[in-house]
Amino acid sequence: MKKILNGLIVLGVVILAVFGAYKLDVYQRLLNAGIVPVQEHVQLDVPLLRKDTPPALGNGSEVTAMAMLLQYYGYHETKNNLSANLPRVPWTFPDGEHGNPNVGFVGSVTGESYGLGAYHQPMIRLAHHYTNHASDVSGSSFDQIVRILATGHPVWTITTTTFAPVHDWQRWDTPQGRIKITYSMNGVVITGYDRAQKLIYVNDPYGHKNKAVNWDKFQAAYNQMGQQAIYIK
């Protein structure tokens, strides 16, 4: 009788877990479809990591932000662990062409020599080194990003150092063709928002946790930087 009772308890726990996961999945689908209203205020407690914490990654805002995202979900990886597995390309090739941030981190991530950064393609490959649950949702509208935040998921993205559009763009010739880049690129984790005050909250690798920035300017920078976004399901 005791074994039967224990078996029923285990079965009940499994059913509740499956049903709970099903309800969460249904809720997220309804939320993403715009059927369920989005909360007015969200602020997630994502661990803050600084890119200048020794051993420093002077050019490593994107990889530092990814380490924050992973740590939020319990992956005990440091920015420097991630840096060791980061896809890389040279600052320049012998023919004078630049490395392409769509392919790998361009140049030096430590800041000991010239470096730029990495876009979402190499960063999702890096994330998949640690988890199969990372999802590249680049190309999503900012409203879709807000809906992801509303389900309790922080979002890695590339913005600018001013959290607003910039005008210091340059054209680079790369092995994959000509691209536009800005030295103002900055990887962050979006940790929440406040609809009433029109604020977005970010963890900035320069050392700011849940930094409040202007919603409209941040959204414009998100669009200008190519709507790059990664989250963990």
Check if the beta carbon of residue 214 is closer than 8 Å to that of residue 187.
no
Q: Give residue 9's pLDDT.
A: 42
Q: Provide the whole-model pTM.
A: 0.86
pLDDT tens across 111-127, in order?
Answer: 999 999 999 999 999 99
Superfamily in which the 42-232 domain is placed by CATH: Cysteine proteinases (3.90.70.10)
pLDDT: which is higher, 180 or 14: 180
What single DSSP character describes residue 141?
-
Q: Give residue 37's pLDDT.
A: 66
Check if the beta carbon of residue 108 is closer than 8 Å to that of residue 193.
no
d(CA 41, CA 32): 17
Q: Give residue 24's pLDDT.
A: 44
Q: Give residue 23's pLDDT.
A: 41
d(CA 229, CA 57): 21
End-to-end CA distance of the chain: 40
- Cβ neighbours of residue 208 closer than 8 Å, sequence gap 6 or more: 48, 202
Q: Give residue 38's pLDDT.
A: 87
Residue 206 CA: distances (Å) to CA of 21, 67, 171, 186, 210: 36, 14, 26, 9, 12
pLDDT, mean over the chain: 90
Domain ranges of the chain: 1-33, 42-232
Q: Give residue 197's pLDDT.
A: 98
